A and B are shown apart, each in its own frame.
Chain A
Amino acid sequence: MTKQIGIIGAGKLGVVLAQIALQAGYQVQIAGSGSAEKIALTMTVLAPGARIMTSTEVLANNEVIILALPLSKFNQLDAASLAGKLVLDAMNYWWEVDGKRAEFNDPRVGTSELVQNYFKDSNVVKAFNHMGYHDLLDESMVINPTNPMRKAIAVAGDNGQAVAQARQIVTDFGFDALVLDDLNAGLKLQPGVNTFGANLPYEDLQTAILNYDETPFGQEIAKLKLQ
């Protein structure tokens, strides 16, 4: 059976994930923030083969959805239409886009946990968030099969089955998957932690995550975990 994936967001990250998914043999459905027409030219040239739809259609048609829209906008999506589905959260807090939002910078609760709280009947797994979009494209083994060093993407989720599925997708996309304990551990992949921007092979990424408390934000997280 052909694998299929839906992507919400057709910015830099969404386009790159569509390119990788297509190359990995997935059928891709993608929605941007505006009309389908608005991204048609971009997708035809950059990710030919991806089907452009409205976000409502993408959510309805797919069992696996990647969220690649600005973090401040996820709650504009209809949570009910994602019930029972796997949601890969690739979003990050970016104050210049999202505005100053204290809850997105909380050392206790990761942004993916906020996403999970909103999509309460879905299985949210944090994935593809810590590597820059152009590194994703350069490093993916399906895009660049001669890449001398396979890189790792960390995934974090609470549901074992969902995490296993996410892990398979990360592998299909040409990366090693590094599985963290739970969704809360996704905090260690957020902006302000030394892993943010990490473009590393499996073992080096593991080391970076072990040392997440080297940065000030990492220390705040660590302090709360010890209490």
Chain B
Amino acid sequence: MEKILFGLDTFGDIPANENGELLSDAQALRQVVAEGVLADQLGVDIIALGEHHREDFAISSPEMVLAAMAMQTEKIKLSTGVTVLSSDDPVRVFQRFSTLDALSNGRAQVMLGRGSFTESFPLFGFNLNDYDVLFEEKLNLFSQLLTEKPVTWQGTTRAPLQNADVYPKTESGHLDTYVGVGGSPESIIRAARYGLPVMLAIIGGSPERFKPYMRLYEKATEQFQTPVHPVGMHSHGVIAPTDEEARELAWRSIRVSMDRIGRDRGWAPMTRERFENEIENGSYYVGSPTTVAKKIARTIKNLGVKRFDLVYSAGNQTVAEREQTIELYAKEVIPQVRAILAEAAND
């Protein structure tokens, strides 16, 4: 059976201390580095950091944090989730990640996306009306940069390039690149068109509803005659010794964080029923190691994904609570998921 990869994702939420006081952004960033080191020691395959530009999250420059991790880790893949390509410069993105790839001995991965927030547009002087064209054009340029050969390119969103060679080159000749996708079918087709692997952000509702998207991805690769890559997914979760502890912690972390974000968009606060339903049937992986392992295994089986990342740090959890999720995920959940899947494969 093909090896399933397991990752941990964070946006750099601000941890709280025991008294509920928030740490500084700087402390939050150093904590993320420590968590990356911990995940590496515990044998987690990937850590992915998401770029945001808002008060809730300390990470706006994920590759800087990943570079710090690169110096203190051995095996873990250093990824993003996502890098907002629309409001960035594809040439600089390539350079930053090929640099990270060098520093980490080939462990860099970049996940390109449009992001689920829009703060970066006004911040970097882009117009939200150009949302679609910015991503389309920049992904087009980025895919050419991935050849690591001189690029000639012209578009409307940045200056043209004439036979431009971009450095540093990677040692392997290929920078590991994913496209992060929310719920838009168009994004799936776009990733397939560029022959790039897809990572699904499944942040609510039943994960099984994404099953048709898996088929859409395969159909699209057929149509464009591009390679079919394994598909990955990420979802939120909290792990604690017992289901009760995990639920209580998730209620004051994941739920609070979702409500804060939802408020900006006019969404009503989450009801307890909805929260419980996300845990039972939806996209929150919350509970004891056994509960979470069963749920992850079920999702992997039902969807056929080959990579599962747990978004572990939502809201203002304490450092101890965050590290508890990481430890339990690595030491108990991942081995249990592998065991369940191996057993299912033998049936």
Chain A: residues with CB nearer than 8 A to chain B?
A: 11-12, 15, 41-42, 44-46, 92-94, 96-97, 99, 132-135, 137-138, 190-200, 208, 215, 217
Contact = CB atoms under 8 A, between A and B. Distances in A.
A98 to B, nearest CB: 9
A195 B54 CA distance: 26
Interface of B: 118, 128-129, 131, 183-186, 189, 204-206, 209, 212-213, 215-216, 219-220, 223, 262, 265-269, 271, 274, 281
21 contacts: A11-B184, A12-B183, A15-B185, A42-B189, A46-B216, A96-B118, A96-B265, A97-B131, A132-B204, A133-B183, A134-B183, A134-B204, A134-B206, A138-B205, A138-B206, A138-B281, A190-B266, A191-B267, A196-B268, A208-B268, A215-B268
Nearest to A48: B212
B183 A41 contact: no
A197 B267 contact: yes
A137 B128 contact: no
Given A11-B184, A138-B205, A197-B262, 10 more contacts: A96-B265, A97-B128, A132-B205, A133-B183, A134-B206, A137-B209, A190-B266, A191-B266, A194-B268, A194-B269
Contact of A41 (B128, B223, B267): B223
The main secondary structure of chain B at its interface with chain A is: helix
Contacts of B209: 134, 137-138
B208 to A, nearest CB: 9
A174 to B, nearest CB: 15
B266 A135 contact: no
Contacts of A208: 268
A35 B274 CA distance: 38
A193 B267 CA distance: 7
A215 B219 CA distance: 45
A191 B205 CA distance: 20
Contact of B189 (A41, A96, A137): A41
Contacts of B215: 45
A46 B212 contact: yes
A99 B118 CA distance: 11
A193 B205 contact: no
B129 A46 contact: no
A93 B266 CA distance: 9
Contacts of B205: 132, 134-135, 137-138
A99 B223 contact: no
Contacts of A193: 266, 268
A45 B266 contact: no
B87 to A, nearest CB: 13
A164 to B, nearest CB: 28
A12 B188 CA distance: 12
B183 A191 contact: no
B220 A41 contact: yes
A45 B212 contact: yes
B266 A192 contact: yes
Contacts of A135: 205
Contacts of A138: 205-206, 209, 281
Contact of B265 (A44, A134, A191, A195): A191
Given A134-B205, A138-B206, A42 B216 contact: yes
Contacts of B212: 45-46
A96 B128 contact: yes
Nearest to B222: A41
Contact of B266 (A41, A42, A196): A196
A42 B186 contact: yes
Contacts of A198: 268
Contact of A195 (B118, B204, B223, B268): B268
A195 to B, nearest CB: 6
A41 B184 contact: no
Contacts of A191: 265-267
Nearest to A136: B205
Contacts of B183: 12, 133-134
A194 B270 CA distance: 10
Nearest to A130: B268
A152 B345 CA distance: 41
Given A94-B265, A134-B209, A195-B268, A99 B128 contact: yes
A193 to B, nearest CB: 7
Contacts of B269: 194
Contacts of B186: 42
A2 B111 CA distance: 46
A105 to B, nearest CB: 9
A46 B274 contact: no
Contacts of B128: 96-97, 99
A44 B219 CA distance: 10
Contacts of A137: 205, 209
Query: Residue among A41, A195, A215 with the most chain B CB within 10 A?
Result: A41
Contacts of B266: 92-93, 190-193, 196, 217
A92 to B, nearest CB: 8
B216 A196 contact: no
